[in-house]
Structure 1
Amino acid sequence: MKRIKILAILILAALALFAGMQFPVHPPPVHPTPPEAGEAAARQQLLGLKLPDPRGQEVKLEQWQGKTLVVNFWATWCPPCQKEMPVFSRLQQAWRERGVQFIGIAVDSAGNVERFADKTPVAYPLLVGGTEVMRLSKDLGNPSLGLPFTLIIKADGQIHARKLGGIEENEMDTLLQGATASPVPKQNH
């Protein structure tokens, strides 16, 4: 009987450990990310995309070349995605004059995105992507293909940070400060 209790405790401990690894209590932190092999091609592919808006008008991401981009992969059925959109709208308004452009790429149908945008207006462009865009997000640092997934791309085209899962306003504000900071010129003495 004692062996059965010990075995049951070991099994429960193993299950708890497995569950903890699969479902972390705290979301992973956001860190500036170093370049990875193959990322440059994926980044160029992303910045070269031509995607339709919800009404079918084609939009080229290259039109925002030279700006700091916040590219958010999302879906209308994703509650964390919906939660961060008002935050992104406020930040778009606050950071627009400093050369920041938010872009939402929906992994959804154009009709769903159009209905969502009619009910929940946002202050930045919403574009419609398909499964190929999700595959691209994997190459950009989203191996689990989860949503929301957000990239901050500096004006020079380098990825400054990436985040899987929802992001809070103060966290995004801090990341944008780092992404848009200009180096301090050296003083000659």
Structure 2
Amino acid sequence: MSKEKKPVNFFIKSLVTAILMLGLGYTIYTSLIIKKEAVTIDQSNLAPDFTLQDLKGNEVKLSDYRGKGVILNFWATYCPPCEKEMPYLNNVYQEYEDKGIEILAVNAQEPRIIVSPFVLEKKLSFSILLDRTGEAIDQYKVNNLPVTYLINEDGEITQTISGELTEMKVRSYVESIIPN
């Protein structure tokens, strides 16, 4: 009877080990490979242009902001790090708006009925854009939220930041894209 248990135990241990190895491999793949895909836009190229609607239904085109430094932030209301960084972005926007800085926060495919109350509750004063079809998300290869692109006055992406921003980080990043 003990001889029968050994092959079964060996099989179960081997199966568990294989499952754990697959899980570890998948975790490494998603954390290294997929995150790199989110930032594969050639940083020397112009930022891909898009036209999206703001919360009032106005069309907003990224290329209309040439001549300004733009913080382009992809976010969603269901994303805790996104929610945490919104007040930081708002504080920096209010301080740097007169210096030629714009913040365009592109919501990741949520309906206006969900986004509007969130924006009102947080008292956000920068532009909130609705990417209902995923057009901009696809153009920027966004896989994880939040993702932030720094765009200089010439419309070029100068830096890509994946993950949550602190207020100190936002302040240091915005200094690098203030127009001359």
TM-score over 0.5 for the alignment?
yes
What is the match of residue 111 of structure 1? 113
Q: Which has the higher relative contact order, 1 or 2, with Cα contacts under 8 A spaced 6 or more apart?
A: 2
- Determine if contact 1:84/1:166 at 8 Å carries over to the other structure: yes
| CA distance in structure 1 between the aligned counterparts of 2:22 and 2:40, rounded to whole angstroms | 32
- The Cα shift of 1:9 comes to 9.8
Larger Rg: 2
Pairing 1:93-104 to 2, within 5 Å after superposition: 93-104=94-105
| CA distance in structure 2 between the aligned counterparts of 1:134 and 1:33, rounded to whole angstroms | 13
| CA distance in structure 2 between the aligned counterparts of 1:55 and 1:64, rounded to whole angstroms | 18
Pairing 1:54-73 to 2, within 5 Å after superposition: 54-73=55-74
Q: Structure 1 132/44 Cα, relative in aligned 2: closer, same or farther at 3 Å?
A: closer
What is the match of residue 45 of structure 1? 49
- The Cα shift of 1:55 comes to 2.8
What is the match of residue 159 of structure 2? 161
| CA distance in structure 2 between the aligned counterparts of 1:173 and 1:21, rounded to whole angstroms | 31
- Determine if contact 1:55/1:110 at 8 Å carries over to the other structure: no
Aligned-pair identity (%) = 25
> Which amino acid is 1:35 matched to?
D
- Which of these residues, 25, 32, 47, is aligned with residue 18 of structure 1? 25
What is the match of residue 174 of structure 1? 172
5+ residue gaps, structure 2, are: 1-5
- The Cα shift of 1:8 comes to 8.7
Q: TM-score, normalised by structure 1?
A: 0.70
- Determine if contact 2:152/2:179 at 8 Å carries over to the other structure: no
Q: TM-score, normalised by structure 2?
A: 0.73
Aligned length: 166
